[in-house]
Chain A
Amino acid sequence: MKALLIAEYRQGKLLDTTYELQAFAGLLGAESAMVLVGSPADLPKFSGKLYLADVAKYGEYNPDLHKKVVLEAVAKENPDYIVFVHSSYGWDLAPRVAAALRVGQVSEVVGLPDGKFEVTCCNAKLRRTVAPKSARTVITIQAGAFSPQGEPQGAPQVEVIDVADPAGKTEFVGYEAAEQKDVDLTRAEIIVSAGRGVGKKENVQVIAQLAKALGGELGASRPVVDAGWAPHSHQVGTTGQTVSPKLYVACGISGAIQHLAGMKKADFVVAINKDKDAPIGEIADVLIVADVMQFVPAMTARCAR
């Protein structure tokens, strides 16, 4: 069995998620080769063949060109699986590759129970196994679901891929930086986060007071940030920050997969939620079944004593 792993390079840097692809291939028991549109000066540690298209020549993400690079490597390697991370890169590029090859895709794989591809659905309230029916399959894996074991090692055998430069249908203009951060959640030891379940903007202050009483920082889920209840710099999740505090208190957060991806490295998770069956309960060390607006002020008072 052979897997072609599609590594990712963004804003001048090889992304660490590359090693999650390797960990996944290891679990599949697949021999692997890699593709990278990136820099020869920043190659992944990897013992195997690496098809490299130089970013200096091709530039950063251009979907039509990157599709061509991947298809070229597929033709050379003849892999059973073509594996991406389910990132803004992977979910954009993977279906293009699958459509070009007319093969199946399994999106955002979170596990391999009995060798089956497991994905989540309905906001992580259900799981589903997906069975490929084509000879070859494109896979995207959930970021953070397959942690690398040990330090990556090795040096790849590089084969340069040169594709004729197509006039892609999408022209990359540039990056727009994230808003200035007023808080660095990645260094916080305690994070108390507000989710949609807090109900309204004023209630986010109640959550912030508990964060303060515990000596921690305020976090937030995406709906809270989109509603304008908290600034983006406080957002935890796939499109926010990935955090690893000693204590994470999730207040009124249902546990959408994108949020879990950002906080599941927390050492200890307390969830406060009215719904005993909320998916956050799956990963919480302690689930308090309660109304957030009753429990949190009581906890703040207790911690402030």
Chain B
Amino acid sequence: MRKRLLLPLCSLLAAPAFAAGLQVGVEIPRLEVAEYHRPYVAIWLEKPDQQHVADLAVWYDLKMKDKEGEKWLKDLRQWWRRSGRGLELPVDGVSGATRAVGTHSLSFAGDSAQLKDLPAGEYSLVVEAAREVGGRELLRVPFAWPPRQAEQHQAQGKSELGAVTLQLTP
């Protein structure tokens, strides 16, 4: 019922201002290890010179008492240096709980806080994962913004991450 009402609204709003968007897919692989913990994951946008532009998400243990889970955020080494250490955590709309094995997707509309003021140019989507008593992996997916046509980019992890996909919608 609600949905029906919303759909026409959305199509009305889908004027040029609400044009582009991006969708990120992050696969957390199943690992055969004696002691498995869900990985901490940070997802952000940066310029080609690795300058941090915007945080899309950081998944960490939010449930521990006294924010104890934040103790290991430094293990997301690059994200911590580029962004995390300067933040007051948790960050609304960015902080989230750790995710289970499987593929998780995130959508950002062109008018979302992260994208609405993004100047045209070259960027990379960065996904960094670090697992307690496990390893760390970082993947970069370069792309141009805003997209001229629907595009799909992908990177493949080897250890802590599976496939990372980036879908751009003009």
Q: Do A and B bind each other?
A: no
Q: Hey, which bits of chain A sit against chain B, CB under 8 A?
A: none
Q: Hey, which bits of chain B sit against chain A, CB under 8 A?
A: none
